[in-house]
Amino acid sequence: MSAHTAPAPHSLADPAVGAVLADIAASAEHDEDVVRQAYATAAGWAEQPTPLQAAELCARAALPVAPEVGRFLYQLVRAVRPALVVEFGTSFGASTVHLAAALRDNGTGLVIGSELHPGKAARARANLERAGLAEYAEIRVGDALEQLADLPGPIDVLLLDGWKELYLPVLRTLEPALRDGAAVVSDNLPMLPPEFLEHVRGSAAGYLSQPLALGEGVELSLRTA
């Protein structure tokens, strides 16, 4: 690049991407009310809701990553230049938009997201289309343990941002597909089950892991074996 050539703007500065992220953020303004009502409804049930029932109760909740977590995901993908990014818990697609934006700027790669609720998956696809990022993302609908069992290659970056009780089962399912040096980003650190943190922070599972002060807290784990 010559001294007189301006650098190309990054995709997070794209007005279409910004508009989609702003719309998701606006939808999230009512998330606390939706989640509170979901808990109140489920409290009257004789048994704990199934994952599908819980997803239906929270169908109107956007539950996006915090903006600084989204920027971190974008930066991570730009730096790592992954061929395959996998996401557990797509919701309305805020994190997926950040990941796909980075892949577009890299010029290569695919993010495969998973979402249990069909309505949320449809909304995420629409958001990716509006942002001009659809070709870099695939959203699979259904149980992540089933939908992510068949992947087109080794995982370079894994984002865990769905139901916290499933972080460890999903991670263990995907561990054989994690390449050496893969990055695992686990959002909502204060909510993570102790057994999950014991797994990624222990010496036997093959990770180098530490918390990051982003959003409500993120655990960044590097696959070392």
Residue 119 half-sphere exposure, CB side, CA atoms within 13 Å? 9
* Terminal Cα-to-Cα distance of the chain (whole angstroms): 39
What's the pLDDT at 52?
A: 83
Q: What percent of the chain has pLDDT over 70?
A: 96
Q: 68-124, pLDDT tens digit by residue? A: 999 999 999 999 999 999 999 999 999 999 999 999 999 999 999 999 999 999 999
CATH architecture of 67-223: 3-Layer(aba) Sandwich (3.40)
What's the pLDDT at 58?
A: 87
What's the pLDDT at 64?
A: 94
Mean pLDDT, residues 153-171? 96
State yes or no: pLDDT of 225 exceeds 80. no
Least confident stretch, 45-54, 102-111, 121-130 = 45-54
Work out the pLDDT band at 5, boundaries 50, 70, 90.
Answer: low
Which residue type sits at 26? A
Q: What percent of the chain has pLDDT over 90?
A: 80
Q: Global pTM?
A: 0.93
State yes or no: pLDDT of 4 exceeds 70. no
Domain ranges of the chain: 67-223
What's the pLDDT at 135?
A: 97
Q: 17-31, pLDDT tens digit by residue? A: 999 999 999 999 998
* DSSP E strand stretches across the chain: 84-88, 110-115, 137-141, 155-160, 178-187, 207-212, 218-223
DSSP three-state, residue 164: helix
Work out the pLDDT band at 3, boundaries 50, 70, 90.
Answer: low
Rounded distance between C-alpha atoms, residue 95 and residue 215, angstroms: 13
Residue 139 or residue 59, greater confidence? 139
